[in-house]
Structure 1
Amino acid sequence: MLILKEDRMKYLRPFIIALLFMAGTKPLLAQFRKYSNEFLNIGAGARGLGMGGAQVAGVEDVTAGYWNPAGLTGVKNDPQLSIMHAEYFAGIGKYDYAGLAIPTANNKRTIGISVLRFAVDDIPNTLFLVEPDGTINYNNIQTFSSADYAFLLSMAQELKSSREGRRVSFGGNAKIIHRKVGSFATAWGFGIDAGFQVIDKKWRFGITARDLTTTFNAWTFTFTDREKEVLYLTNNEIPIKSTELTAPRLVIGGGYNFKISKSISMMAEANIDLTFDGRRNTVISSDPLSADPKLGLEATYKDVFSIRAGINNFQRALADGDTLNQKKVWIYQPAIGAGFKLNNFYIDYAFTNLANQSNPLFTHIFSLKFNLKKKEK
């Protein structure tokens, strides 16, 4: 005989949660999701993460393909390659990034490609843990992975430059998104980003429109007859094709670069992240507009060694010591970092908090960057 639905559900819960986390189960034709494709908001490069994600105005390297594609025009003469790896939640989640920027012969245009992956591996599939007679068979447990991929194809054009060091640039991304949950669910999506940047000797300004045309993910689901039977007997809806939409997002930033001494320079930047998909838990929260500020600071010694700090993700949350759950306080997400340059090689490090200052979930992030020197003829 079959085990009771309530008992079987406790064994199916890990599988169901993992599946619903990525895909949802309702067969909707299309819907906006506030937090869809959130892996695209983590960041790229330890330098930017160490500055709290405040990068849209001052980024001038290969990671601009992620932060602001217009900044790719800062890559001159030689191609530039960057790679990054990070692990979250004690290695459960793995996040990887790789980017390549190639300037054209006249240094007025740059093309780039960026690849991002966020994955959780070895998720238990407990669909068949319980045999039809009600006994538990642990040999039936299999594992699967839930992985998100993004491929960003970038192009940036320098619109104007001057002898005084001012550069005006425009850039855009075409991004392809692929999400896969084991053999059960697959999604493909497409979106477009656009960016604008002005960099002077001291002042910097940047603006990026992400998901400019509304990014979509089209989901398809595949279950065997046996899997459908288990889902049906445990009173779970069997997913059908669905589409989720990601609303546009606007990031505006300004920065200032100044000298403290002949050897030490300082770069300060502030960004504000504007979303248009309804009220969020941010500093400015309204319907439909919400605003989330980001602040970053970088000090550099002789263009060789840098230290960084940043803060973002301001939210109102219940105070930990309030047993009545009535008092709310402001929390935030801090970050620090450092960088070192040796000829054409850069190594950057960031120490960031995934939660907030009262409930720390820190992680270490390293990234490498290379200038690929062309062979002289």
Structure 2
Amino acid sequence: MLINLILFIINLGYSDIGTSALPLLKIGPGPRATAMGDGFVGLCDDVTALYWNPAGLAQLNKFETFLSHQEWFYGFRDEYISLGLPVGKSSFGFGAVYSRTDGVEHWTINNNPGDTFATQTGFIALGYGYELTRSFLFGITLKGLYDDLRVEKGTGLGGDLGLLFRLGERFNIGLVGKNLGLGVKYGETNYPLPMQFKLGLCLRPSHFNIVSDFTLPLDNIPHLNLGIEWNIKNILALRAGYRTGPQDLTSLGFANGLSFGVGLFLGKVCVDYAFVPYGDLGNTHKFGLRTAIPLPGSGLFKIKVIDARTKRPITACVLFSGIRQETRQSNLKGEAYLEKLNSGWLKLGVTKDGYFPYNDSVFIQGIGEQNLTVELIKLGYGTIWGMVYDSLTKKPIGGIVTYTGQSSGNFNVDTLTGTYTLRDLPIGLYELEVKGPSLNYIPQRCSVYLTYDEVVTKDFYLLRRKELPKFPSIYFKTGSSEISDEAKFALDKAGKILLENPQVMVELSGHCDKKESGIDLWRLSQKRAEAVKKYLNEKFGISFERMQVQGYADTQPFAPSETETGRSLNRRVDFRILKE
């Protein structure tokens, strides 16, 4: 029965060729779709969906505008304008089309030539699209029609009904009934609208849109539209298409079914152009300008799921909650996304059999595009094994290995063999820290990625901390700041230490015995420090900048002053390291 109905409609179209009014309604607006052979019903992902398939309006996630000018042959010109505004899962569209033809000859009733005049045709369109589910969208467009033929003026109402089925991320099916209505009335006579029924398919491999429309008009023969678009890095789009109708290619030439075009992306603006030949009638040119402006509530969030080790994409289940409750499946490229998001926190959980689950929260700005790459870690267990050595002697030493990652803990390194073994660790990334058997060793840290059933060997060579140089004290006779022979021996040792450690800066601290009566102890302690400084400079070339002097009088005794031995230990100059 369905086949009989289709054959009936086709036969009806054959018998009624050229009997409908307002041929402007048959012309597809926009250079983008025109360049793709007028095959746009299954794609319709911009504001021109208002004319092609109003269900496509529900795909808008930005405020879009569209302006277009079409230059036909013999003085025909068409102008298009449309606006698209997304609001949640709904989108609203407004458009207007104006066509004018100048230089139309007027003949009198007596078949005598008169003056020339211009005809004007146009319509206003209001559209609405709604995303009922992720896979099913529908829309409607209402049109107010006007036609001024000078001798007659016609008005009417019409509309389009459209459906769009999104089967995954890469394939769409569109259905639309166009120009549905009672017709256009000229005076007392009513003429039917050029009704059409279209089936559109769209395949969307990476960077390409491949489209095909089958058109079944009620006033003409069925025809097929094919097209392709190649988007090059969102900078340039190359387009081509072929139409088997509604023009008669047997008379125009089959090459005149071709169409070509380009699109140039300039930020939020796209400039489009299309070229369509019509044989001896001439060539036509279409120019268009599209803008897409993000609005609050138009946020786009994209997630890509990959294997943490191989970096290859994974098909995983992504559960969203927070500002949007939804479950998505990442595609073969590991991608999933949410559109038309308001600002707020979005929680996500990513699960895949054989992998550790992943949970995170992202603050959505509610405008523009945000991206997140999730690295899933495969389930399994492995082992980290190794030895700890003294870096200087290359001999095994003990210590402690601390690990953090999918699990955490400590392991005591065997003191005799220097070995450690971390068994049955869940696979993933681990941070290791190794400390030696004493504080004289500098700890070491490293990262180790552990894979399924793998034994990773990681050895450590610990450095000993560099010991600070030890300077001798320089002793003086009672009441004197002269360097004795015994003091010179100690100073020579100190000078060599300073030469071997050129980065070291010291304070020379002068001290006195409180029994050194009748003497200015502050001045004497300062002179003792100055004497040491001068000796080291003159004999070893130690720069004055590396040596600061300070006298402390008898305020910092080293030993009690009750005995001569104690007093002799207090008459001294000490070295205090300021910088190493």
TM-score calculated relative to the size of structure 1: 0.68
1:208 alignment partner in structure 2: 176
Measured after TM superposition, the shift of residue 374 of structure 1 is: 4.7
Q: Judge conservation of contact 2:249–2:256 (CA < 8 Å) in 1.
A: no
1:123 alignment partner in structure 2: 104
The aligned runs of 1:351-366 (5 Å cut-off) are 351-353=275-277, 355-356=278-279, 359=280, 361-366=282-287
Indicate how the Cα distance of structure 1 residues 38 and 341 shifts in structure 2: closer, same or farther if over 3 A, else same. same
Report the Cα distance in structure 1 between the residues aligned to 2:158 and 2:24, rounded to whole angstroms: 14
Indicate how the Cα distance of structure 1 residues 252 and 128 shifts in structure 2: closer, same or farther if over 3 A, else same. closer
1:85 to 69, 73, 96: 69
1:96 to 50, 72, 79: 79
- Matched position secondary structure for 1:258: coil
1:219 to 186, 189, 194: 186
Name the larger-Rg structure.
2
Q: Judge conservation of contact 1:32–1:245 (CA < 8 Å) in 2.
A: no
Cα deviation, 1:23-76, whole Å, max 9, x if unaligned, reads xxxxxxxx9954422111211111001001000001111100000000011211
1:249 aligns with 2:196: yes
The aligned runs of 1:144-159 (5 Å cut-off) are 144-159=117-132
Indicate how the Cα distance of structure 1 residues 318 and 296 shifts in structure 2: closer, same or farther if over 3 A, else same. closer
2:51 alignment partner in structure 1: 66
Indicate how the Cα distance of structure 1 residues 87 and 330 shifts in structure 2: closer, same or farther if over 3 A, else same. closer
1:36 aligns with 2:9: no
Report the Cα distance in structure 1 between the residues aligned to 2:19 and 2:95, rounded to whole angstroms: 24
1:306 alignment partner in structure 2: 237
Root mean square deviation, CA, Å:
2.8
Indicate how the Cα distance of structure 1 residues 313 and 153 shifts in structure 2: closer, same or farther if over 3 A, else same. same
2:157 to 190, 210, 213: 190
The aligned runs of 1:156-305 (5 Å cut-off) are 156-161=129-134, 167-182=135-150, 184-199=151-166, 200-212=168-180, 214-220=181-187, 241-246=188-193, 248-259=195-206, 265-277=207-219, 280=220, 290-305=221-236
1:340 to 244, 248, 264: 264
Measured after TM superposition, the shift of residue 370 of structure 1 is: 1.1
TM-score calculated relative to the size of structure 2: 0.45
Q: Judge conservation of contact 2:256–2:276 (CA < 8 Å) in 1.
A: no
Greater RCO between the two (CA within 8 Å, min separation 6)? 1
1:11 alignment partner in structure 2: none
Measured after TM superposition, the shift of residue 126 of structure 1 is: 5.2
Which blocks of at least 5 consecutive residues in structure 1 are unaligned?
Answer: 1-30, 131-135, 162-166, 221-240, 260-264, 281-289, 321-328
1:56 alignment partner in structure 2: 41
Measured after TM superposition, the shift of residue 305 of structure 1 is: 0.9
Measured after TM superposition, the shift of residue 248 of structure 1 is: 3.2
Measured after TM superposition, the shift of residue 210 of structure 1 is: 1.0
Instruction: Give the letter for the 2:213 counterpart.
Output: N
User: What is the count of residue pairs matched by the alignment?
Assistant: 281
Which blocks of at least 5 consecutive residues in structure 2 are unaligned?
Answer: 1-15, 297-365, 368-580
Q: Judge conservation of contact 1:85–1:95 (CA < 8 Å) in 2.
A: yes
Indicate how the Cα distance of structure 1 residues 47 and 70 shifts in structure 2: closer, same or farther if over 3 A, else same. same
Q: Judge conservation of contact 2:228–2:241 (CA < 8 Å) in 1.
A: yes
